[in-house]
Structure 1
């Protein structure tokens, strides 16, 4: 039987693709143009590939220093988040029959419903008092604030792992610590990949938390230097867009290669 083409769905998909690709085309086009070409036409493609815009943007934004800060914050936050959040989730998932751990689960998950602006001012005061207004302090905040969502998906996934595997390991003389690191943690690879990728995207692209925490210009992340550059040199759109593309490209690559783990891991963690 011949299948009929659903033209409405096809049109909606094409329109959605156009809405996504057009801004990307504009960003690339503007980044490769000269100021004179921008003045003549914004929508037209560039007459030549002015790669020097990227070199100027790197110099104007101190790009490599900000890139180094973003890499340090992102990589450290991902590693610590996976190691700490997975252990907390394992303790809760295997003790959900106890009132205390059940309370902990709902306590952590309830943090998902608290708007960030409500706690923004107390965070600024506390981080300043504890001398945490630096990249390392920012890493701690990412690990702590990621607990709510990560516990939600971790617990659902861990509860799908048969307890018989742990019981067999304990009979063989394995401690609780050994059971987690030798049996459970390797089995959590798919959900660890999901949590790691989501944390990576969040920490790399986040603007608001670094804005209120980081005071030293040498500690600025890529989103912050883009903001400062746009504020000071608002008319240099070609350099600004060149800088935006350089800041976005690492996470675009990460997402393109890792999107199947993001979607699949969240689904498994939420349903099981």
Structure 2
């Protein structure tokens, strides 16, 4: 330890406490997923002996894991692609015209949508999607794109405002229109915030239970959260299989986050600063 520097014990204690809050539920999930039903009667904190790896294969079979995984992957991928391309362009139009009252009003209109609880609009949305014939994966992708617009516009506008407008002026001098300017000049500069929005969309879409529950009309369209719900009965729940399925559903998200975490910090930091 360098001379003259004191250990920040309060900060260290806070860091340990925060780490424990995150680690303890994860540890319980892993332990329960590796136990047999008989071992659950023992101490819940004890490590399983023997380890029951069969829980994962049974969970895969009962939940039709690969079919549900494909549905979740299809919906999440579609939502991420459509969200990034459409939300960024909407935010760009607002960010570069914030001096106009109409665009200011539009910006605050989108922001206000973040404070509307989903149950208030749930029944009208279910009826509308049914009438339009989009009670399927396509309808879910559209809904995730629209519902994410409010928060994503908030992030994008702050980030785009930090980009120098001289870049666009130079593009206009070279003969580029607004569409070419955005896709050739601005969009490549949005990589950090695009990654941030993409990660938030992945986490929300992959883990969401309510929208697929009320929108999807056919059982074969079910996503992973819906299939996992089948493991929870009214009078009995097989916790070992349920927690094994939770781990199986969590692993893809963990890999995505590990790969893209550096973009999240960069995107949120720059998105909070307006130039």
SS of 1:231's equivalent?
coil
TM score, norm. by length of structure 1 = 0.95
SS of 1:59's equivalent?
helix
Structure 1, residues 124-164: CA drift from partner, whole Å, max 9, x if none?
11112212211110000000011101111111111221121
Q: Counterpart of 1:48?
A: 50
Number of equivalenced pairs: 272
Q: Counterpart of 2:109?
A: 107
Deviation at 1:201, TM superposition (A): 0.9
**Match of residue 76, structure 2, among 55, 74, 77:** 74
Superposed, 1:108-123 pairs within 5 Å as 108-123=110-125
Relative to structure 1, the CA distance from residue 229 to residue 124 in structure 2 (aligned partners, 3 Å threshold; closer, same or farther) is same
Root mean square deviation of aligned Cα: 1.6
More deviation in 34-43 or 220-229? 34-43
Deviation at 1:47, TM superposition (A): 0.9
**Match of residue 224, structure 1, among 216, 223, 226:** 226
* Runs (4+) off by over 3 Å: 232-235
User: 1:121 and 1:79 mapped to 2: Cα distance?
Assistant: 27
Superposed, 1:246-257 pairs within 5 Å as 246-257=248-259
Give structure 2 stretches of 5+ with no counterpart: none
Relative to structure 1, the CA distance from residue 193 to residue 233 in structure 2 (aligned partners, 3 Å threshold; closer, same or farther) is farther
Superposed, 1:1-272 pairs within 5 Å as 1-231=3-233, 234-272=236-274
Give structure 1 stretches of 5+ with no counterpart: none
Q: Do 1:152 and 1:270's aligned partners in 2 also have CA atoms closer than 8 Å?
A: no
User: 1:196 and 1:132 mapped to 2: Cα distance?
Assistant: 23
Deviation at 1:4, TM superposition (A): 1.9
